[in-house]
Structure 1
Amino acid sequence: MTDPVLTQFADGVLTVTLNRPEKKNAITQAMYAVLAEATERARTDDAVRALLFRAEGDSFSAGNDIADFIAIGSSGGSQVVDAPVFRFLKALADLDKPAVAAVRGRAVGIGLTLLLHCDLVVVAEDALLSAPFINLALAPEAASSMLLPMVVGHQRAFEIFALGEPIDGRTALAWGLANRAVPAAEVDATAVALAVKVAARAPNSIRKTKRLMRDAESLWALMQREGEAFGSQMSSPEAMEAFMAFTQKRAPVFG
């Protein structure tokens, strides 16, 4: 069986690859555990100078695996704060080394909000980024309720959250969500080149700079508050209807 998350280390860069292309790289709780371990390693291993997120297949990530979320919601949404996803989110909040992302195809939910924790983002010009939390009757996560408005402005962020409609790679670049928008075939090479370049910079200077630019404690506190809202919504009738509608390929009907 092929591992759904792969890691490789070279030239000071720890590359983490989502490797579940047959499911559009939808992320399970087991995958979050591996992502958390890799992100923690990036922070604590002095040999690692940069962390690169990429994906196999035609999508960066379809977001959270809906089957996982239906199971968590059915057993009580409060469990979400104890799920491996929150170990990964805390690792992202604590990460004080450069994170780079290479995005092709769809980047949905965590596929988009992960980018808010990356310092260098390369997107395909035709990539499609979306955060349809409200479409699933949920709430934002990964500190995106603060970070997304900071990057793109309140009105654009609200539209991304409330309508759940995708923006393409060129728009992501124009709105400040990405550093580069390139043809899809050039995404990986461009991201690797940036990761290797930043990995060659003075490591302590880089880490101190990133710490000054981000408040890890505030990010983690917000992630926990978002988790409470997310968890309460997961066990709500709204979310159950949204999940069922998603699996049945129909529009949800909210009372």
Structure 2
Amino acid sequence: MTEHFLAERNGAHLRLAFNRPERRNAITVAMYAALADALTAAQDDPEIRVITLEGEGVDFTGGNDLADFMKELPQDGQTDVPVWRLLRVLATNKVPLVAAVHGNAVGIGTTILFHCDLVVAEEGTRFKMPFTELGLVPEAASSLILPQLAGRQLAAKYLLLGEAFGVDEAERFGLVTHRAPAGGLAERLGKVMGDLLSRPPEALRLTQRLLRGTSHDAVLERMEWENGHFSERLTSDEVKQAIMAFFAGRNARG
């Protein structure tokens, strides 16, 4: 595990949380590995009935820590890097997974939500997938799942243009299932989690699997396709220039 990631067990509930609030929970390679390991271990633990995914501090997550990510670029054909492991376990997860989102949910902070069974969002949450701004392509099978949820043209607004959107839009096209007032995220999450834990556990798991059906095959195939393009893009001049511009802009803002 890493100091920037929490895995806390309380009976049948496994709480997972990004814990790097001083950096807006920007995700490092070590954090990806810890999350992938925790989710993988939970698959074979019948005592875990609900998993929640949260973020400490003011944001759910600001997305990738670009400086850290660029130091650990996946090599051609490499499939065991932490982020790819995480995506695979998300696609095949067999335990009800509930995300509690607030503040900013950037990049994978939004696409990871497509693999959660329920998403509770606090008023004011801002979702954004700025892949093309960084010279990259979508990941986490978002190029497949988002058009299915929102339609191709709305998906193009969020993926081609990288436009941000709020809780109203996210709820309208089905990404957000429950909303919480400002400051009320923990209470709303607790109610949803309590309702889940009150259900017979085997019925809950079987229903979750039935809802997913065989779609994980298509999701895994799209992830592999996206990952190939993503890896190629990471070494492109476009990405290098975009990331240099990103850091230059951040430094200029102080």
The TM-score, its normalising length taken from structure 1, stands at 0.91
Q: Which residue of 1 aligns with 2:197?
A: 199
Q: Which residue of 2 aligns with 1:137?
A: 135
Q: Which residue of 1 aligns with 2:184?
A: 186
> 2 CA distance for matches of 1:111 and 1:205?
29
Q: Which residue of 2 aligns with 1:13?
A: 13
Give the letter aligned to residue 49 of structure 2: R
Q: Output aligned runs, 1:10-49, within 5 Å.
A: 10-49=10-49
Instruction: Give yes or no for contact 2:59–2:103 (8 Å, CA) kept in 1.
Output: yes
Query: Relative to 1, partners in 2 of residues 1:150 and 1:170: Cα closer, same or farther, differing over 3 Å?
Result: same
> 1 CA distance for matches of 2:38 and 2:203?
22
Instruction: Give yes or no for contact 1:79–1:231 (8 Å, CA) kept in 2.
Output: no
Give the letter aligned to residue 113 of structure 2: L
Q: Which residue of 2 aligns with 1:253?
A: none
> 2 CA distance for matches of 1:79 and 1:67?
22
Q: CA RMSD in A?
A: 1.7
The TM-score, its normalising length taken from structure 2, stands at 0.91
Unaligned runs of 5+ in 1: 251-255
Identity over aligned residues, as a percent? 39
> 2 CA distance for matches of 1:86 and 1:199?
30
> 2 CA distance for matches of 1:165 and 1:159?
6
Instruction: Give yes or no for contact 1:81–1:228 (8 Å, CA) kept in 2.
Output: no
Please report how far the alpha carbon of residue 152 of structure 1 lies from its aligned counterpart in structure 2 after TM superposition.
1.5
SS in 2 for 1:230: helix
Give the letter aligned to residue 177 of structure 2: N
Please report how far the alpha carbon of residue 164 of structure 1 lies from its aligned counterpart in structure 2 after TM superposition.
1.3
Give the letter aligned to residue 54 of structure 2: R
Please report how far the alpha carbon of residue 205 of structure 1 lies from its aligned counterpart in structure 2 after TM superposition.
2.2
Please report how far the alpha carbon of residue 166 of structure 1 lies from its aligned counterpart in structure 2 after TM superposition.
1.1
Instruction: Give yes or no for contact 2:140–2:223 (8 Å, CA) kept in 1.
Output: yes
Name the structure, 1 or 2, with higher relative contact order (CA <8 Å, separation 6+). Answer: 1
Q: Which residue of 2 aligns with 1:229?
A: 229
Instruction: Give yes or no for contact 1:72–1:80 (8 Å, CA) kept in 2.
Output: no
Q: Output aligned runs, 1:65-84, within 5 Å.
A: 65-73=65-73, 78=76, 81-84=79-82
Query: Relative to 1, partners in 2 of residues 1:165 and 1:138: Cα closer, same or farther, differing over 3 Å?
Result: same
1:162-209 alpha-carbon deviations (Å, 9 max, x no partner)? 111211122211221101222231112211221232133222222222
Please report how far the alpha carbon of residue 77 of structure 1 lies from its aligned counterpart in structure 2 after TM superposition.
5.5
> 2 CA distance for matches of 1:147 and 1:216?
11
Q: Which residue of 1 aligns with 2:89?
A: 91
> 1 CA distance for matches of 2:78 and 2:186?
32
